[in-house]
């Protein structure tokens, strides 16, 4: 039997330095604080619509509570994104 030739390992790409964790946190807080300013009315409406849907689903889609679901969903979304542009936790 002939001896198998070993192939050299493929060259690996050089590793790049990962951004510091503090840098990531800074980016995240910037994104959160600018979320409402960068959010279009259509995007806001979509978030409220989804939140209202899940509120209705939670109570079994009982009719007659659509407006209440929407108002509560809108308040929740605005609270989460920060109505004044500051993040809420």
Domain range annotation of the chain: 40-89
Using CA atoms, how far apart are residues 46 and 54, in angstroms rounded to an integer?
12
pLDDT at position 38 is 78
* HSE toward the beta carbon, residue 56, CA cutoff 13 A: 17
pLDDT at position 12 is 57
In 3D space, the residue among 36, 43, 37 whose CA is nearest the CA of residue 78 turns out to be 36
Q: What is the pLDDT of residues 3-20, one digit of tens each?
A: 666 666 555 554 544 444
Q: Which residue has the higher pLDDT, 57 or 24?
A: 57
3-state DSSP assignment of residue 34: coil
72: CB partners within 8 A, 6+ apart? 52, 55
Q: What is the pTM of this model?
A: 0.53
């Amino acid at each position: 039997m002939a001896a198998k030739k070993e192939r050299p390992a493929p060259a690996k790409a050089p590793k790049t330095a990962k951004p510091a964790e503090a840098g990531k946190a800074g980016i995240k807080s910037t994104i959160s604080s600018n979320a409402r300013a960068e959010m279009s009315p259509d995007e806001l409406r979509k978030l409220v619509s989804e939140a209202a849907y899940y509120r209705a689903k939670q109570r079994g889609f009982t009719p007659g509570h659509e407006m209440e679901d929407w108002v509560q969903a809108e308040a929740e979304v605005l609270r989460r994104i920060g109505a004044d542009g500051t993040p809420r936790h």
